[in-house]
A and B are shown apart, each in its own frame.
Chain A
Amino acid sequence: MNMTPIIQLNDLYKSYGSTPVLKGINLNVSPGQVVGYIGPNGAGKSTTIKILIGMLPDYAGEATVLGMDVKTNSLEIKRRIGYVPENAALYDTLTPMEYLQFIGQLYGLETGQIERKALDLLRLFQLNDYTNARMTTFSKGMRQKVLLISGLLHNPDVIFLDEPLSGLDANAVVLVKEIIRQLANSGKTVFYSSHIMDVVEKISDRIIIINQGQIIADGTFAELQHQRPESLEQLFAELTGSEGQTGVAEEFIHTLKN
């Protein structure tokens, strides 16, 4: 852990209007790590990622990625990172090939190179029959695959994934998990946000839990478990203050009966 950190956050504050979202995040990530970034809805996960990839420049505090300040060097950072957003936003009137061509060109890749790579990657995701079909008809899983490819096409050094497994079928989940693992093994850094606890538990080298804009736990799963020997799910519930879900469930059933 004595390498220069690839992601660094110092006292990061961010608010939308008058509602504070991030209240002082401090974080160092070394290269080659898979970081699982988890927290309940509205905890500030996506906001943190958006700041790191330079989409939200008006924050307070310090944020550097690959040793560069996010505020001043966002273009250079964007060139070397990959981002897969959570809400499956893509231009779905295009075909996967057209879309990937477009994204590739934004990174300044050669069209021939994009075409070759895209074809291979689409084939590996078993989308080769749909290369030239418009994505309006695609299922959520198929869109997610195209999104994943579009975020990784330019072979980035740091990869930000926001719920990368949503909509994927079981086989694709296994495949993507393995891809994430091997990306990290080849020295890339993966910053990974998700709600699916057992996936996070399995693939992360390090788990960071945030709640209401603050980091409340940080360490390897073993370290976190060391405090209380439970599953990540239970730990998460405990730390984010939503214990006693059994009681809530009972009340829920009770209300339905009325």
Chain B
Amino acid sequence: MRAIAKLALGAILAVCLAADPALSKETGYIFVSSEKDHVVTVLDGTSYELIKNIETSERPRHLQLTPDGTKLLAACGDGEAIDIIDLATLKVTDRIDDIDDPEAFDLSPDGRFMYISLEDDGALGVLDMQSQEMVAEIEVGEEPEGVLTGPGGEVVYVTSEVANMVHVVDTESRELKANILVGNRPRRFAMTPDGEELWVSNELSGSISIIDPQTNQVIDEIVFAPKGFRPEDVTPVGVIMTADGATAFVALGRANHVAVVDVPGRKVEDYILVGNRAWNAALSRDNTRLLVANGLSDDISVIDVAKRKVIKSVPVGRVPYMVVIDD
């Protein structure tokens, strides 16, 4: 049981980290989805040079590696498809069609099911990755967005941007277990490695709500206030934690900064200046580098985590949305 839990934790971190090291063949590449160019840009992991632009269905946004580390999945909103990119050939080799406006997703720990937010339907879809069929749709609040499979895979969390709630879905019964009212326009999740705290970013409230997954209650809130920015310009979206659970990085959108948060102390330690509209972020496996997708400056910022400084910015496609590092 514990081993499964560990595996599941690995899967959660796979949102931005690479998958199980025993199974994957890491390419070292960096993948960035571009909402407007309909490509996933592939960069070399050390030189940051362009390897390739992989053409995808229209408007790719969320990217995630499969647990075996051989494929990259891309949710393409306007193309109404999940594109499956083979990491060995860097080509779209398969495509799951007819999915109504997919945005974000997560996988079950075994990779069998994809839990996917269906923005237009106001539902969480359960997609069987073997049969490629949508096997269930669970009605949630309008505009579901961030999805996170809980440790062990018994529950899935999904935000509703319009209902301002986090919905807890039981994966066995595929029913709603709880609705948790959080801040306004909740977007993305991170879970502490010990599974004790679920963090959710509230784009419009400029904050993080911290949920206790045992009780499904909000236990605390962290408000971001970088110097020189009005509260309305602080629009946190991407949130990611280091493997030791000590530090979280929160991309603050229009405030053009990434917040560095002491997780146990629930305190903001620093703000790092990045590009325009910092959206989603990814950590390298060794947690030394942080990459941030800047939606309105069409580039990614490379941050030296120890120095808390941007060491490079790399141009990518138009309106970059998400970064994944396959290391």
Same assembly: no
